Amino acid sequence: MYTALLLALLAGSPSPAPTPDPYRIYKVAMQHLATLPQPNYVDDSQEWSTVTFVNGQAIPGEHLQRTVFDSVHRRESILSMPFNPAQPVVVGDSYFAPDSWLIRRNIAVPRPNVPNMAPDLTDLPTIANVISVAEPSYEIRFAGIDPLTGGGSAYQLVLQPVFDPVKHNLRQLWINTANNNIMRAEIEGSYRPSMQDVVENTHVFEDFGAVGKYWLVIHHVWTYAPAFSNVKFQYSVMSLMMGFPSALPDWFSTRWSSSNMPARRLQF
């Protein structure tokens, strides 16, 4: 009788929900990423918040910055805010481009002793008649479902590279359960504040959002801690407004003008 009662109780109990397949979540997110549009140029006005830790003392600082990204050639120019007409245009490598996850051309190869914050797009599929993704370069673990600010939820994935951890630098992803958009990512990379500084390993967290028709990185958080020192820097950079000019005529040799650059406010 007791056995029959136990079987009846078990039969009436709901079965536990199956754990989502982390590899499928990752592959679908990469397939979705490959379909998103990419701007040719991005004009990004940013708010920089920096905290310098010296012997346990925190020294905060803030400034505004404007960065113009050339997505075709993967270069950028940093301009002051408000704009100083006497400021020369300086063009350099692009490290924190808002569209860095959308690159499907001119992908830079990591170089030794050079900062590298570009996400690993090895598993980004090639769009043709059929979308395909090779076996991922990571061991992927499902870490749960997290709520999103403003509603909705995201799968949290933890990624461990199978080989070459410098190239395969993704460490965590948060992927929207409703539309497969990457909402947040953790990258293990390298950084230096200036050419005079030593390149150090760091982790950067990137948050994504809709800007016009584009899905871009709108917030970065990372640290820089030079070896053999008691100093540590923590950076937080938030995009305030972006514009997407159709062309940048003579922008490598002339001072920048914003007269023909309509801006689109961020949409959350």
Each residue of 226-263: pLDDT tens digit? Answer: 888 889 999 999 999 999 988 774 654 444 444 444 44
* Residue 50: closest CA among 39, 36, 60: 60
181 domain residue, yes or no: yes
Kindly state whether residue 124 falls inside one of the protein's structural domains.
yes
Contact partners, residue 209, CB within 8 Å, separation at least 6: 215, 216, 218, 219, 266, 267, 268
Which of 22-26, 88-92, 225-229, 254-258 has the least mean pLDDT? 254-258
**Per the domain annotation, does 13 fall within a domain?**
no
Is position 9 within any domain? no
* Residue 52 counted as domain residue: yes
Flag whether 174 is in a domain.
Answer: yes
For the entire predicted model, the pTM comes to 0.82
Please, which pLDDT band fits residue 264 given cuts at 50, 70 and 90? very low
* Ranges assigned E (strand) in the chain: 41-54, 57-70, 75-80, 91-93, 138-147, 153-161, 170-176, 182-191, 200-211, 214-224, 231-243, 263-265
C-alpha span between 238 and 256 (Å, rounded)? 22
pLDDT mean over 46-50: 95
pLDDT exceeds cutoff 70 at 106: no
Domain carrying residue 154: 19-251
State residue 14's pLDDT score.
60
For every residue of 215-267, DSSP letters joined together read: EEEEEEEEEE--TTSSEEEEEEEEEEEEE--S--TTTTTS----TT--EEE-B
Q: Buried (b) or exposed (e) across 82-118, using 16+ Cβ within 10 A?
A: eeeeeeeeeeeebbbbbbbbbbeeeeeeeeeeebbbb
C-beta of residue 172 within 8 angstroms of C-beta of residue 155: no
Which pLDDT does position 268 carry in this prediction? 32
Q: For residue 2, which phi and psi values (nearest 5 degrees)?
A: -65, -35
Task: Please report whether residue 257 resides in a domain.
Answer: no
Backbone angles phi, psi at 45, to 5 degrees: -95, 125
Give residue-wise pLDDT tens across range 155-179: 999 999 999 999 999 999 999 999 9
Count of domains in the chain? 1
